[in-house]
Structure 1
Amino acid sequence: MSNAAFVQEALNIVGTPEVLVNVISRRVRQLGQGARPLVEVHPRWTLMEVALREIADHKLTFELIDPKVAQAESDEAAAAAAAA
């Protein structure tokens, strides 16, 4: 399968290019810091290709967070820290 096919498959899984870029970016950072790949890696692959194939092979998952919920949790944590 070509890189373009992996990109398309990953995009179908993730949904939007913006989210795909963020997921790949975070995973590349993890791989660069020593995280083990979730797929068999070929010597010539870049970390980006590894991350992309992990997504396309359904080995790497992600969860979208509702911004309203995230903000509420952040506000609660800040209030608790201020009260302590």
Structure 2
Amino acid sequence: MKCLVLPWAALLAVGCASAAGPTYEVVVETTVEADGTSRDCRIVSQDGGGEAVAQLALEACALFRFEPQVRDGAPIAGARVRAPIRIRPE
């Protein structure tokens, strides 16, 4: 999995080793739509960083794309997934 770098004043790393400096971990949960987009993102857990880090994680979650579940050969909506996000302020 590659690092996802977003246009905020932070490095957002999903499944990547963090660099030096404080790193905050947030676990988000989302529903995957049939087209792979995410909706209804929510914070499951957070290790520091306060409201600003939580907001960054939710904004990142809204940009995630997943492989949707498939039933009878067609993609379907409704899968709930959890994703850890590491945020290191620059």
TM-score of the pair, normalised by structure 1? 0.32
Q: Rg larger in 1 or in 2?
A: 1
Greater fraction helix: 1
Higher RCO (C-alpha 8 Å, min separation 6): 2
Greater fraction strand: 2
